[in-house]
Amino acid sequence: YRRVLYTAKNSQLVLMNIKPGEEIGEETHKLDQFLRFEKGKGIAILNGVESDVGDGTAVVVPAGVKHNFINTGDIDLKLYTIYSPPNHRDKVIHKTKQQADADDEHFDGIATE
């Protein structure tokens, strides 16, 4: 579901894989987020406004914007996201959304290098 690949002082690269019919879940961050969708199709909802996403789509979510991403396709929705500043603990891996939701982890100030 989520794998932190690299964490720098001011940004973080994370891979995500959303199963068909699943969603990230509505959330709001105090940081900026960029997402690039590499495979599959879905819907992005930013402050209540829906847009289609799929192969090659990029979305910028400014800090404070309520957002959710839903997989509406028949295959996994694969994407990478860049948080600025970092949002998660470096190298953390959550195999499922349930595991991610149960783990109240946050960036602890430790970068990859």
Q: The domain spanning residue 18 has which CATH number?
A: 2.60.120.10
Residue 113 lies in a domain: no
Residue 112 lies in a domain: no
Nearest to 6 by CA among 95, 110, 101: 110
Q: Average pLDDT, whole number, for the chain? A: 96
pLDDT tens per residue, range 39-81: 999 999 999 999 999 999 999 999 999 999 999 999 999 999 9
Q: How many domains does the chain have?
A: 1
Q: What's the predicted TM-score (pTM) here?
A: 0.90
Question: Which residue segment(s) compose the domain that 20 sits in?
Answer: 2-102
pLDDT for 9 equals 95
Residue 109 lies in a domain: no
Q: Are 97 and 1 in contact (CB under 8 A)?
A: yes
Q: Are 57 and 36 in contact (CB under 8 A)?
A: yes
Cα 3 versus chain centre, distance: 10
Nearest to 54 by CA among 43, 65, 67: 43
DSSP 102: H
Residue 78 lies in a domain: yes
Task: State the average pLDDT over residues 5-31.
Answer: 97
Q: Are 70 and 25 in contact (CB under 8 A)?
A: no
pLDDT for 51 equals 98
Residue 111 lies in a domain: no
